[in-house]
Structure 1
Amino acid sequence: MLPTAFLFPGQGSQELNMGRDVAEAQSAAMDLWLLAEKCSGLKLREIYWGAPDAAPAPEMSDTRALQPALTVVNVSLWLAAKGKAQAMSVVGAAGHSLGEFAALCAAGVLSVEDVVKAVCERGKLMADAGSPSGPSGHGMAAVVKLPLETVEAIVAKAAGQSGAFLRIANHNSPAQFVISGEKPALDAASALVKEAKGRAVPLAVSGAFHSPLMSEPANAFAKVLDSLAWRPAAFPVYMNVTGQAETDPGVLKALLTAQMTSSVLWTVTMRGLYAAGARRFVELGPKSVLAKLALQNLEGKDDIIAQAAGNMDAVADI
């Protein structure tokens, strides 16, 4: 069996009826939904579960609901796959932004209960931080079809022209980035991206995530992380802030504490997992975002398999 890495997605991977078949098949997964509803004070199943032809509820993108709901799905899929994983050669795990909590849970660093508690608070803090209204607002935009050097130059130029803050928040692949900052700089960068024949897509988020503009909620969230019980990882977790493998609970805690204001180094993470021997990348989450990014980040490698397991049938096939 190929050495395997488990990947857990973050915000943007939510979809209607996510995790429903797992919860209806396994009582432990349903208990997680109940725990998250109690912790968040929200009727998460009403928000995310509906008729197959129903239109997605607007609340599905609300970070207060999204963070606990998506984490429950990620963790539920891990619990469904855990028995099979124990027979595999697990190189490590990684989670994209919010998904990092599920990765730490899978590695035994944090308990399921602590993870649910943490993401409920994280969602509230990030939503409450919000963004100033009007031209001084904060936000994020995806930038595609341009290489890193071009995006770095655009970010520097847009910040200089506007006098506003801007940074690359997500290094998702060699041609996919997310920029985060103040609206005047975002607007300037979007124009420059168009000039460079790239594409900039505004994201429906409540603030400039993964930037110093999130310092206030990050400081409050650090106290939440201090209250959790941290244990050594059963296998390495590749952390967003460095893209490097860690097992020490103190280091993992410090890096997760820094995550909200730091960039997500996903390309470094994928290449690090490959260098460590991972040849199969299994995404445990509703969609296949990270499985596709694995192929993009490891383009030219013909010895890898990337697959997504978002339901019970797919878990059975890993």
Structure 2
Amino acid sequence: MKIAALFPGQGSHAVGMGADLAAAFPEAGEVYSQIDTVLPGLRTLIETGPLDELTLTANQQPALVAASTAAYRAWRAHTGLTPAFGAGHSLGEYSALVAADALSLGDALRLTRRRGELMQAAVPVGEGAMSAVMGDPATVQEVCAALDGVQPANFNAPTQTVISGTKAAVEAAGAELKARGLKAIPLKVSAPFHCALMDSAAQGLAPHLQTTRFAPPAFAVYANVTAQPNTEAGTLPALLTAQITGAVRWVDTIQALGAAGAEVFVEFGPGTVLTGLVKRILPDARTVNVGTAEQVRAFAL
């Protein structure tokens, strides 16, 4: 049975995530031990909080990579299974690459810490915004194309698209979309991710990506910006750089995984965001969550 391994992005975090896995499975425990070596203090923050500090982009990004990797490695050790494909939502693409042995955990933690710092610093607080739009994505694209300073950031589900940009442009787009019968809901975010305003973050991270050692993924990892499978190490720095300002093509990614033969979609890490989106994209798909020690032990195909 072909398994697609999915890894969540920002917003799925919680204080204590992965702690039971680290206690129950040596493979997960090794992940959490490595956090202390690479980013001292982060493990304590993950395990005990406070939540507001863990939520900071520079902390949340590496913390989620660690929690997702711990869940994945515990599952691999317990089941002996290997995915046929992998994909991650935004930040989750780094977790997918760690799972596919294309990127070391230590490098992923360092890169996502720097990525978070750069993304948070790219736009002064209050100048950017994001909104979730419910309705036809073609209409969303048309409205954004007619306005400067706003663009689609996440194609999450067939009728859910997130837009991102300057506060004024996102508000103008929201008003126009509402006039056309769509629903635009402002999101509480620390910065306008996946839009042109993140260009300085992309330029700042690019040198770090270019000097990082990547290996060919052991299984195809679908890139956010192309929604296409990738097994080439040499393309990864450019894909991960483009991801910072480009849209997350999640609907296309899940549809492509289904077309490639994925039979079970397993979300590794805290939360159930991605399994919910998969059900909206492929209603008949089988989904499983693996984020706790109990879920690892209970896993069955």
Output the TM-score relative to the length of structure 2.
0.92
- Decide whether the 8 Å contact of 2:27 with 2:77 is kept in 1: no
Aligned pair partner of 1:307 in 288, 292, 296: 288
Change (3 A) 1:16 1:255: same
Task: Please say if 1:64 is aligned against 2:64.
Answer: no
Distance, in Å, in 2 between the alignment partners of 1:179 and 1:24 is 40
Deviation at 1:68, TM superposition (A): 1.1
Aligned to 1:140: 130
Report the alpha carbon displacement of residue 199 of structure 1 after superposing the two structures with TM: 2.9
Equivalent residue, structure 1, for 2:8: 9
Distance (Å, rounded) in 2 between the aligned partners of 1:130 and 1:87: 42
Distance 2:177 2:40 in 1: 41
Unaligned runs of 5+ in 1: 51-55
The answer to whether structure 1 residue 126 and structure 2 residue 115 are counterparts is: no
Match in the other structure for 1:53: none
Query: Who is 1:95 aligned against?
Result: 88
Q: Which amino acid aligns with 1:113?
A: G
Q: Which one-letter code corresponds to 1:240 in the other structure?
A: N
The CA deviation at 1:127 is 1.8
> What secondary structure does 2:85 align onto?
strand
The answer to whether the 8 A contact 1:33-1:69 is kept is no
Residue type of the alignment partner of 2:236: L
Provide the aligned C-alpha RMSD in A: 2.0
Name the structure 2 match of 1:291: 275
Q: Which residue of 1 aligns with 2:199?
A: 215
Q: Decide whether the 8 Å contact of 2:39 with 2:109 is kept in 1.
A: no
| Offset of residue 290 of structure 1 | 0.6
Aligned to 1:114: 107
Residue 23 of structure 1: CA displacement?
1.8
**The residue matched to 1:219 in structure 2 has which SS?**
helix
Q: After alignment, is 226-235 or 17-26 more displaced? A: 17-26
Instruction: Name whichever of 11-20 and 101-110 sits farther off.
Output: 11-20
1:209–1:260 CA contact under 8 A, matched in 2:
yes
Q: Residue 142 of structure 2 is aligned with which of 153, 177, 202?
A: 153
Structure 2: give runs of 5+ residues left out of the alignment.
none
Instruction: Determine if contact 1:92/1:273 at 8 Å carries over to the other structure.
Output: yes
Deviates more, 1:124-133 or 1:113-122: 124-133
Say yes or no: does 1:79 pair with 2:73. yes
Q: Which amino acid aligns with 1:107?
A: A
* 2:95 is equivalent to residue 105 of structure 1: no
CA distance in structure 2 between the partners assigned to 1:33 and 1:84 by the alignment: 18
Distance 1:210 1:247 in 2: 24
Q: Which residue of 2 aligns with 1:26?
A: 25
Q: Which stretch of the first structure deviates more once superposed, 106-115 or 16-25?
A: 16-25
Question: CA offset at residue 31 of structure 1?
Answer: 4.5
Q: Structure 1's 108 and 259: CA in aligned 2 closer, same or farther, altered over 3 A?
A: same
Match of 1:240 among 213, 220, 224: 224
Q: Deviations over 1:19-66 (max 9, x none)?
A: 11112223553443454355445445335536xxxxx72223210110
CA deviation after TM superposition for structure 1 residue 18, in Å:
1.3
Distance 1:74 1:60 in 2: 15
Partner of 1:270: 254
Displacement after TM superposition at 1:204 (Å): 2.7
Assess if the C-alpha contact under 8 Å between 1:210 and 1:259 holds in 2.
yes
Contact 1:36 / 1:120 at 8 angstroms: preserved in 2? Answer: no
Percent identity between the two aligned chains: 38
**One-letter amino acid of the counterpart of residue 76, structure 2:** K
Moved more, 29-38 or 267-276: 29-38
From the superposition, tell whether residues 278 and 188 of structure 1 become closer, same or farther in structure 2 (CA, over 3 Å).
same
Say which SS state the counterpart of residue 270 (structure 2) adopts. coil
Cα distance in 2, alignment partners of residues 86 and 27 from structure 1: 15
**Partner amino acid, structure 2, of 1:282:** V
Residues 55-84 of structure 1: per-residue CA shift (max 9 Å, x gap): x72223210110111111011111111235
Give the counterpart of 1:179 among 138, 163, 166: 163
More moved, 249-258 vs 231-240: 249-258
The one-letter code of the counterpart of 1:249 is A
Cα-to-partner distance string for 1:92-140 (whole Å, 9 max, x where unaligned): 000000000010011110111111111111111112223354xxx1121
